[in-house]
């Protein structure tokens, strides 16, 4: 086995060792980020109605509020939160959400149609839910 003399490298080129160390540290920083954990999950805009339980509507509303905050320009989370408010008997809040969702379908802040406007099922859901909100005062009248 042949030994490689390292003393001459240290004496002749300390700059090369510093460069090698810097390169090693830089490459070590390029590792992939760990996947999301349960403590820091990535929210999806369609997550509001995941695992909704009637006896845990408060938790479902909290989760949905987070989704709405994470996607403020998307109609789907507001449409989904409409369902939770309705199940909780909060018709006024439900109707506020669905009206805002309908506005988001019309246009985003730059004046272009929302990407949600291309989802025919979502468009229909929002239209039907808005109609149900209009029917509430009519149903209460004698």
Q: Which residue has the higher pLDDT, 16 or 110?
A: 110
For the segment 62-81, the average pLDDT, to the nearest whole number, is 94
Cα 116 to chain centroid, rounded: 14
* Distance (Å, whole) CA 6 – CA 22: 19
Quote the longest CA-to-CA distance of the chain: 102
Task: Among 6-20, 23-37, 70-84, name the most confident range.
Answer: 70-84
Torsion over CA: 15, 21, 22, 27 (sign): positive
Based on its alpha-carbon atoms, the radius of gyration of the chain, rounded to whole angstroms, reads 28
* Distance (Å, whole) CA 129 – CA 79: 8
Task: Among 36-45, 69-78, 111-120, name the most confident range.
Answer: 69-78
Total-model pTM? 0.64
In sequence order, what DSSP letters do the residues of 102-126 get, joined into one string? HHHHH--TTSSPPGGGG-HHHHHHH
Instruction: Provide the pLDDT for residue 60.
Output: 94
pLDDT for 18 beyond 90: no
pLDDT tens track for 93-142: 999 999 999 998 887 556 666 677 778 899 999 999 999 998 876 444 44
Torsion over CA: 105, 106, 108, 113 (sign): positive
**What is the average pLDDT value for the chain, to the nearest integer?**
75
Per 3-state DSSP, the chain is made up of helix, strand and coil in percentages (nearest 5) of 65, 0, 35
* Nearest alpha-carbon partner for 97 in 68, 131, 122: 68
């Amino acid at each position: 086995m042949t030994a490689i003399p390292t003393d001459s490298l240290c004496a002749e080129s300390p700059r090369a060792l510093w460069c090698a160390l810097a390169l090693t540290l830089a490459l070590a920083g390029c590792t992939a980020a760990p996947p999301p954990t349960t403590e820091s999950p990535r929210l999806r805009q369609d997550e509001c109605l995941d695992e909704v339980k009637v006896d845990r509507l408060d938790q479902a509303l909290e989760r949905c509020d987070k989704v709405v905050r994470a996607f403020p320009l998307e109609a789907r989370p507001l449409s989904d939160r409409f369902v939770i408010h309705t199940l909780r008997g909060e018709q006024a809040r439900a109707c506020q959400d669905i009206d805002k969702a309908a506005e988001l379908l019309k246009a985003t802040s730059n004046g272009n149609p929302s990407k949600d406007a291309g989802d025919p099922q979502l468009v229909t859901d929002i239209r039907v839910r808005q109609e149900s909100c209009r029917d509430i005062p009519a149903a209460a009248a004698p």
